[in-house]
Structure 1
């Protein structure tokens, strides 16, 4: 089963970025580690643009990962027609932007004005972030210095 999550940006929390797969911290925080320092340096605090770039970067990373998986499978199983003839096809299903919390997400992430990241564990059927449990808060500096995420 997929680990779903949603991400919000402080001062633009009505826009919730949805990620269908790999929503656990080790699947999300590496993308934020790459995006947030570059965005802070290049644009500063701009919640609307950060939300847009967050969604675009998550999609781009997902496409890159899927293409790499296809290459790996073709190399590992060169005589298997299921993989040998397989071509990458973007599915347009794995990401979205919504105004409501999805009831089946396992994690929520909130990017704060200081470019920190709050990681929440979410209950089934969550309607508001106040119902979630804060698991960890990462400062931007901690995020950048981290070698792995759990």
Structure 2
């Protein structure tokens, strides 16, 4: 069974005055492995990669890079798995050929994610919500801390409407630095 989740990447506007720009938000749907252990580890990996390459460029880029890395990690399910497969690790472009997909019934690397419009509402079957707050900074400056919020398991309302309401009314089991979330939530004994 899938553990569905919504991840909201956000960069807050400076509270200079009423005419300041609105928060920048990018939101994605993750169909599987949306439990905190998996998502937080993937976020740490993403942050490490973006810090090392100095490619953190705001919420839209971070969300796109999260989707890309997550898609890469699921492609191994479809490459070199069986003798009937025509997709080989030394030719990953084989994944772009529709004829090579005939043996696959709805491959997860094509269906496991969605880019969401926060105004449209959430599916209603998500089990976790996440907010990843990126700092306001120049991407060429030294890397800085990401703040995350992790909802409790299904601890938010489910309805069709602006997603903002679900995120505002959620009960959060954690709110703080990404590194602390990993320590506090993931390290807890099961």
Provide the TM-score with structure 1 as the length reference. 0.71
Could you say what the CA RMSD is over the residues aligned between the two structures, in angstroms? 3.0
Query: Runs in 1 of length 4+ with deviation above 6 angstroms?
Result: 144-147
Gap regions ≥5 residues in structure 1? 72-83
The yes-or-no answer on 1:62 pairing with 2:65 is: no
47, 54, 61: which one pairs with 1:36? Answer: 47
Q: CA offsets, 1:51-105, max 9 Å, x none?
A: 21112122222334x359x85xxxxxxxxxxxx6564753411111111322111
Aligned ranges 1:83-94 → 2 under 5 Å: 87=85, 89=104, 90-91=107-108, 92-94=110-112
1:77 is aligned to none
Q: Which has the higher helix share?
A: 1
104, 128, 136: which one pairs with 2:125? Answer: 104
Relative distance call for 1:2 and 1:86 in structure 2 (3 A) is: farther
Greater Rg over alpha carbons, structure: 2
Relative distance call for 1:139 and 1:45 in structure 2 (3 A) is: farther
Provide the TM-score with structure 2 as the length reference. 0.58
How many residues align structurally?
135
Aligned ranges 1:45-60 → 2 under 5 Å: 46-60=58-72
Secondary structure, counterpart of 2:115 in structure 1? strand
**More relative contact order, 1 or 2 (CA 8 Å, 6+ apart):** 1
